[in-house]
């Protein structure tokens, strides 16, 4: 009798993931720009790939799209192994990476016609209509006939988005799509991304702007120095941050004693800053009502009691050790 075949220990692509990487590594010389990341991007999500400049976002995107070769690890895109399945996967993926190269002497529409005709999966009979629709969608309908050399940076960026959307895609990969856009253009691109996702397209979008990810995305992954330090639905990422209590009281010394006895770490800085009227501490799993009860039992005069939930910003800063640009 033969032994049953050895069980495959490394499971195949997980169902429901548009992008999955395991142990993905890219080195430049001795330095790992991408240092063993395990991405899991659910289908249908708008996944914000967030991290400070230089944290490895663009390099990761280039690896996902087969524009660079990994030094280690596995990549699955739309359930197919990359880069082996590049030719079959790419038609289902629209990408905006590093500002596309357009011919300045052709119009916006002319450039898209040219790019579309270079795509052997794109039907020529519907080309003109698709180019028209894509330009309308990104708000460039009025400038379709204008030469690209007269386009602003924001218009070029939108033309890049139109190019990514020339055909229906299962996945859009956008590297900093609002870079160089004015506030109006930024708002348009964000709402465009949301509407694409509402139509079922998975959107993987990199950004160094926390506020942008909060406005556009359902999920996020946080990069720091080549590592993916957290990922998941935005709500889960937020709740992973610690909540804290702020107590308003004239009896700060006593309140600090109570907090210490409950095993919390009082933040004396809070008390000092507010001239002796506040004490604060991380909740550390203690129920807020238990804190109030203990304070009252010890005769602390509680004038105010607030539970503050960690903001996404606090969470990200604590994970990356870096400040984020929260503008946008
Ligand atoms: N071709 C290359 N040769 C050498 N080093 C590189 C190369 N491409 C990227 N790097 C380095 O890898 C690191 C990650 O860069 P990457 O562009 O992926 O970061 P990023 O998070 O996309 O930042 P940014 O938003 O500034 O583009 C950086 O230190 C960068 O200098």
Walk along the chain (328 residues) in steps of 10 and give the mean pLDDT of each run. Answer: 40 69 95 95 94 92 94 95 91 81 92 87 86 91 94 86 88 89 82 82 91 89 92 81 77 85 71 53 75 91 80 74 54
The residues lining ligand 1, judged by C-beta closer than 6 Å to any ligand atom, are: 28, 33, 51, 53-59, 208
Alpha carbon of 54 to ligand 1 centroid (Å)? 5
Angle between the N-to-C axes of helices 183-198 and 153-164, in degrees from 0 to 180, rounded to the nearest 10: 10
Query: Residue 192's pLDDT is what?
Result: 82
Looking from the CA of residue 62, the nearest atom of ligand 1 is: 18
Q: Whose CA is nearest to atom 4 of ligand 1?
A: 28
Query: What CA dihedral angle connects 120, 121, 125 and 127, to 10 degrees?
Result: -90
Give the distance (Å) from ligand 1 centre to CA of residue 64. 15
Give the Cα separation of 196 and 10 in Å (integer): 33
Q: What is the CA(205)–ligand 1 centre distance, in A?
A: 17
Phi, psi of 54 (to 5 degrees): 85, 5
57 alpha carbon – ligand 1 mean position (Å) = 8
Nearest Cα to Cα of residue 34 among 221, 176, 313:
221
pLDDT at 220: 94
What ipTM goes with this model? 0.94
Beta carbons of 79 and 53 less than 8 angstroms apart: no
Residue with CA at minimum distance from ligand 1 atom 25: 53
């Amino acid at each position: 009798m033969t032994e049953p075949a050895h069980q495959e220990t490394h499971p195949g692509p997980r169902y429901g993931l548009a992008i999955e990487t395991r142990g993905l590594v890219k080195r430049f010389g001795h330095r790992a720009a991408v240092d063993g990341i395990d991405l899991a991007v659910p289908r249908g999500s708008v996944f914000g790939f967030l991290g400070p400049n230089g944290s490895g976002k663009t390099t990761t995107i280039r690896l996902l799209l087969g524009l660079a070769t990994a030094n280690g690890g596995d990549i699955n895109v739309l359930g197919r192994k990359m880069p082996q399945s590049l030719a079959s996967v790419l038609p289902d993926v629209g990408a905006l990476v590093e500002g596309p190269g357009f011919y300045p002497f052709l119009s916006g529409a002319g450039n898209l016609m040219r790019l579309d005709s270079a795509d052997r999966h794109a039907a020529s009979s519907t080309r003109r209509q698709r180019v028209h629709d894509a330009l309308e969608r990104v708000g460039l309908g009025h400038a379709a006939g204008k030469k690209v050399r007269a386009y602003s940076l924001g218009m070029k960026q939108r033309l890049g988005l139109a190019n990514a959307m020339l055909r229906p895609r299962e996945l859009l990969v956008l590297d900093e799509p609002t870079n160089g856009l004015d506030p109006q253009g930024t708002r348009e691109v964000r709402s465009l991304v949301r509407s694409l996702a509402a139509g079922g397209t998975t959107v993987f979008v990199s950004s160094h702007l926390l506020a942008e990810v909060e406005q556009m995305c359902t999920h996020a992954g946080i990069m720091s120095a080549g590592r993916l330090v957290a990922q998941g639905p935005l709500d889960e990422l937020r709740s992973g941050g610690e909540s804290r209590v702020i107590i308003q009281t004239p009896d700060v010394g006593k309140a600090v004693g109570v907090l210490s006895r409950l095993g919390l770490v009082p933040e004396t800085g809070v008390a000092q800053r507010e001239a002796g009227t506040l004490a604060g501490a991380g909740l550390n799993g203690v129920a807020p009502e238990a804190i109030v009860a203990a304070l009252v039992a010890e005769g602390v005069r509680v004038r105010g009691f607030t539970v503050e939930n960690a903001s996404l910003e606090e969470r990200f800063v604590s994970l990356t050790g870096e400040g984020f640009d929260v503008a946008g």
